[in-house]
Every structure is written in structure tokens, then in C-alpha cells.
A and B are shown apart, each in its own frame.
Chain A
Amino acid sequence: DSGVTQTPKHLITATGQRVTLRCSPRSGDLSVYWYQQSLDQGLQFLIQYYNGEERAKGNILERFSAQQFPDLHSELNLSSLELGDSALYFCASSATAGNQPQHFGDGTRLSIL
């Protein structure tokens, strides 16, 4: 058990909809990372928050946004969903801002119908 909790585990929705994925980091970790894993793109970094502030950004679509709350949990919001957004979305956490092992949750599997 990594200590990182992601909810929900599975999400099925339709094109054009909006969903929110939730992540609780490992106790004591200040950084939260979001990654997308799909068959064609592999594992892609989306965004990182450190202690409530955005720290680094990857190729995250404008339709996607995230935030980290004062209690350090994070949410990833995906809107105007398209079929190509179907993927596994992982949250990871680390103690500080970088250069450390990351601890991954089990992911949210998003299926767009």
C-alpha cells in the first residue's frame, strides 16, 4: 500500500461531460503529481503541485485543470470530455518538490462512451 488514495477507481461517462478525480497524498507528502496513462501515449506527466502551489506543468490540455487544497489533497478536473481522454489517471506524491521517489495511487480508470 503506497498510502496514496485515489477516488473513484472507475468512472464511465459520455463525451462532453465533466468529471473530477480526487487524490489524497501519502501522509506528510507536500507534492502531488498527476499522470495520464494510455495505450498510444504511454505515461505522460500532466501537472505538479507543491504545498498548494502549481510547481510544474506538462502537456496538460486546456480542458483539464487541477488544484491542491490546504489539507494537501488534490483534484483533477476534466471537462468537455472526448473519446481520446479515456485513460488511466494516476496521482503520485513525494515529500518535497522533486528529485525523490514518487508514491503512486492505484489510479482512476476513465472510460468515455
Chain B
Amino acid sequence: SQQGEEDPQALSIQEGENATMNCSYKTSINNLQWYRQNSGRGLVHLILIRSNEREKHSGRLRVTLDTSKKSSSLLITASRAADTASYFCATVPHYNQGGKLIFGQGTELSVKP
């Protein structure tokens, strides 16, 4: 079963606006990762945040992690039509022997030009 819940399930915004997606998870983690998936394609890694980090930036992306609330958020600033995709959070559980990712349901982002 999936560990993460993402909110909202779908988000529609205008180009230039910011998009915020939230993710909650259930168990202790080593790290949390965000991925993007364009329709029918493979997932592309966006950013990894470790359990001892609270915030991380990469270009127009900002990720926060609150381990006390078991939640994370992904902010995309100044969105572009090319950002239209599904976004998934994925956790690596603390008990993990390997590196398996446990994915949330995803947020479908639509950026209108």
C-alpha cells in the first residue's frame, strides 16, 4: 500500500502563478523525494530532502519537510506551461534495507498559458 497522501489531487493555475503541492506520509523516513511525470513517460527526479533537513531549493523549486507532522510541500514558483505534469512525492522508509521508494498518489498540475 502507498505511504503518501498528496493534496490536492489536481491543481490548475495560470502561467506565472506559484503552485504548491503537499504530501503526508506515515512512517519515519530516511529521505523524501519529489518526482515529475509527463503523460505516459518515465519519472524525472526533482529534489531529495533528507530527514535532518527542513528546506531545500533547486532553481524554481522549494521543498520543505516537517518530520514532526510527517509532511512535505513542493512549491514551484513562476510556473510555466512546460511545468504541466503529475508530481509525486516518494519516501524512503527509515527501516528500509534497500532504496525502495514508496510513492504518494500524485498531484496533477495544469499550467494554462
- What is A's interface to B at a CB cutoff of 8 Å? 2, 4, 31, 33, 35, 42-45, 48, 50, 55-56, 58, 88, 90, 92, 94, 96-107, 109
Contacts and interface: CB of A to CB of B under 8 A. Distances in A.
Contacts of B100: 33, 45, 48, 56, 58, 98
Interface stretch (B17-25, B42-50, B76-84): B42-50
Interface of B: 2, 30-31, 33, 35, 40-45, 48, 88, 90, 92, 96-106
12 contacts: A2-B44, A43-B101, A44-B103, A45-B102, A50-B98, A94-B99, A96-B99, A98-B97, A99-B31, A102-B101, A104-B35, A107-B42
A4 B42 contact: yes
B42 A100 contact: no
Nearest to A48: B98
Nearest to B31: A99
Contact of A98 (B35, B98, B102): B98
A104 B48 CA distance: 15
A98 B29 CA distance: 13
Interface centre among B2, B30, B97, B101 (most CB of A within 10 A): B101
A43 B96 contact: no
Contact of A42 (B31, B42, B98, B105): B105
A43 B41 CA distance: 13
Contacts of A98: 30, 92, 96-100
Contacts of B88: 43
B66 to A, nearest CB: 20
Nearest to B92: A99
Contacts of A45: 100-103
